[in-house]
Amino acid sequence: MPEITPEEAVVVKREIQRLKGQAWGVAFGLLLGLGLFAATVILVLKGGENIGQHLGLLSAYLPGYSVSFAGAAIGFIYMFVIGYALGRLVGSVYNRMAGLTG
């Protein structure tokens, strides 16, 4: 197996350390989206007199969201988009702070 030069080693190390913003975005999006989806569905299935009064307050920030099965789907979409943006931001900031851009 041929040895790599020091310049090649630096390039390989830099590529390994670089965060992939798209992957982080999808991961954060799924985490937040599925979290809100699961919380909403659990509250709907649980039922009761006043279903999810605290979770229902999210409708002030997420138009169309409600504590219902349809609201769970709408909330998933909102939180996936927010999580995707957050994940991309984390990857971008990390790469800039670590000097791994370009």
pLDDT at position 101, please?
65
Residues contacting residue 95 through CB under 8 Å, at least 6 positions apart: 18, 19, 21, 101
Distance CA 93, CA 18 (A): 11
**Is the overall model pTM greater than 0.75, yes or no?**
yes
pLDDT at position 80, please?
98
SS3 sequence of 2-28: CCCCHHHHHHHHHHHHCCCHHHHHHHH
Average of pLDDT values for 15-42?
Answer: 92
Q: State yes or no: pLDDT of 12 exceeds 80.
A: no
Residues contacting residue 35 through CB under 8 Å, at least 6 positions apart: 79
pLDDT digits (tens, 9 = 90+) for 35-88: 999 999 999 999 878 888 899 999 999 999 999 999 999 999 999 999 999 999
